[in-house]
Amino acid sequence: MEYLSKVIDETLRNFNPLFSIPRVAQEDININDYFIPKGWKVQVWTRAVHMDPETYVNPKDFLPSRWDDDQKLKAGSFLPFGAGSRFCPGAEFAKLQISIFLHYFLLNYKLEQVNPGGPIVYLPYPRPADYCLANIIKLQPSLHLSSPSC
């Protein structure tokens, strides 16, 4: 389950449920030589944050190992559930739900991609052009060897 948590975080980094985070500038601010006046509406594009090569080495690669315990992220560099006072209160519950679902799904089913190796579309988020059509195959329950023999 520890590795599954890393896979979930890496999936959230690559395919964020939040396209952007709307905010209003509370004061005049200058960011990277761009002036933003107080009251202007701004959008934080989470994909740009999650694909920053200064934060994530090889950001286009799917690397669950990047979430090993020694990884220290700076504040605001992982935003799948927002940030600050508007952080989603159900974030941990959502991750728990997907963990339980994936645990049972992966033990009992197998996926076969219909069009493996198809093209990838990257905007607004990366995904197979066919949305990864797949056949779901129920696995047969394994026989228990602990039953008494005659």
SS3 assignment, position 71: coil
Does residue 88 have a known ligand-binding role? yes
Instruction: Set out the domains of the chain in order of their start, with CATH numbers.
Output: 2-138 (1.10.630.10)
What pLDDT, in 10s, does the model give residues 51-96?
999 999 999 899 999 998 767 788 889 999 988 778 889 999 999 9
8 A C-beta contact, residue 76 and residue 83 = yes
User: Whole-model pTM?
Assistant: 0.76
The residue among 143 and 117 whose pLDDT is bigger is 117
Residue environment code for 55-72, b if the CB has 16+ CB neighbours within 10 A, otherwise e: bbeebeeebbebbeeeee
